A and B are shown apart, each in its own frame.
Chain A
Amino acid sequence: MNCNEYREKFIHGEMTPAEKKAFEEHLKHCNECRIFVERYKNVKSFMKARIDYVPSSELKEKVLSKVKKRQSLKKLYMASVSTAAVIAIGAFFVWKPFTSNQKVYQRVASRGIEMLKSTSAASPSVERSNRSNDFTYMIHIKDVSDQF
């Protein structure tokens, strides 16, 4: 058998006693197979240790409490984020009409104030159109109505 055939049968535990004896002889001469066997045994013992390990109740509790703490923190974080979002959205809908209303009144008022501040011309210089919906025609009525 060559190295690979030995290693394969060794991993799977398929060696006959004779083959096992022959492999032990082979290991005395084959450095690579010896290293392979050592590493394999290390890995196997580590895996066994992990599988067989039962943590103490103290450790288990410690770990679980940490996990629980993390979970509750996460929940709290999520709750606060969603509350903040709700507050923000609410504030947007409540505040926006208020501020926009304020702006509307400011805008409306400022137009009149501008008119008040502008100097009155001896004869009004505002453009006069004869469209019925802008009421400027009424200035003409006053002008031509001979009601001095």
Chain B
Amino acid sequence: MWFLIVVFFALSVSVFGDLRENIISAYASQVVEGQRIVVEQSEKGTKVRYEKILRKGYNEIVKVVAPDFFEWAYLDGKTYVVFENEMKRSPAMIVDMERKFMKCLASTPTELSTAVVDYNGNKAYKVEVKNKSATYVGIFLKPSFLLVKLNVQRANGQLTITYNSIKKVPAFYFEKVIEKFKVINTPPSAMEIEVWKMIYHLNNVSITSIRVNDISIVLVKGVTKSVGEIVVYLFEGKSISTDDLVSQFKSKGFSSLSAEEKGINMVFVSKIKDVQKLKKWVKFVLKGSSF
């Protein structure tokens, strides 16, 4: 009896091992074009977007068509933002959960299970993997191994990617599309990195810029839990004095302080009375390890 159980377990591991290998290798060699709906649910609310994908292996061009148009790409481990005919390095890695899921599947997940299921009348593999931060459930069509649905469950929310349509396209098609773009590999500027830090740590972000004495000042407004509404001024050079700007705000009853990071001057302004809270937030953002 024990012998049979051991044999069954060994067979199932082997079968599963093969399936996992097949899925990973199929995904890495696929050239596909598809359309998907992404629904993100978190404590901040629900966000829905509609995307068009052109993917070759892990490289992909993602065109967000709704609610706001935005195009980005992942090429050989780097992410780019598309500006008309140019691709420019993004100040932070743009994360596609599909990529994270495949990475998790390829690594050693803490839990793993598979099943053959019916998906909209088609036979499919349901693959569930779990790691420390999330549980992924992916549906791969049989026998093409095309990923058609992915659900990611995390402590603070969930995300669902559902493909409306997905089809394999000839391999050269991806290269043809990429050829049209000028890929700029210059690393993001210090200003871009600092602006991104602010955007990353703020909610309900809006951004604008003004030009004073031939200097461009970027203004980022957002909300944090600890401080409330904040406006951050970011600019290069010394022709605008951060001290003078801070005293302008203080004279008008606002909390304000300045900082400098990699040659970028920053002035923070808030309505909060307790300037220490603002100081704490600024320290946290500037020393944040997310970048």
Contacts and interface: CB of A to CB of B under 8 A. Distances in A.
A138 interface: yes
Contacts of A143: 47, 49, 64, 68, 70
A120 B204 contact: yes
B79 to A, nearest CB: 8
B233 A115 contact: no
Contact of A104 (B40, B195, B212): B212
Interface stretch (B8-16, B215-223, B273-281): B215-223
Interface stretch (B17-25, B124-132, B174-182, B240-248): B240-248
A112 B213 contact: no
Contact of A148 (B159, B233, B270): B159
A136 B94 contact: no
A148 B49 CA distance: 14
A134 to B, nearest CB: 6
B156 interface: yes
Interface stretch (B85-93, B105-113, B165-173): B85-93
Contacts of A122: 204
B249 interface: yes
Contact of B199 (A116, A128, A139): A139
A146 B70 contact: no
Contacts, number: 140
A130 B85 CA distance: 12
B76 to A, nearest CB: 19
Contacts of A137: 70, 81, 83
A133 to B, nearest CB: 8
Contact of B209 (A132, A135, A144): A135
B213 A145 contact: no
B96 interface: yes
Interface centre among A115, A135, A136 (most CB of B within 10 A): A135
A140 B91 CA distance: 12
B217 A108 contact: yes
A130 B88 contact: no
Interface string A90-118: 00000000000100111111011101100
A144 B44 contact: no
Nearest to B71: A130
A144 B269 contact: no
Contacts of A121: 204
Nearest to A139: B205
A142 interface: yes
Given A135-B195, A143-B68, A146-B159, A108 B204 contact: no
Contact of B233 (A108, A136, A144): A108
A31 interface: no
A147 interface: yes
A109 B95 contact: no
Contacts of B209: 134-135
B277 to A, nearest CB: 16
A139 B218 CA distance: 14
> Which has the most chain B C-beta neighbours within 10 Å: A104, A106, A125?
A104
Contacts of B218: 135
A36 to B, nearest CB: 86
A1 B100 CA distance: 140
Interface in B216-236: 217-219, 221, 223, 229, 231, 233
13 contacts: A108-B248, A121-B204, A130-B71, A132-B83, A135-B195, A137-B81, A141-B90, A141-B199, A142-B199, A144-B49, A144-B51, A144-B72, A146-B96
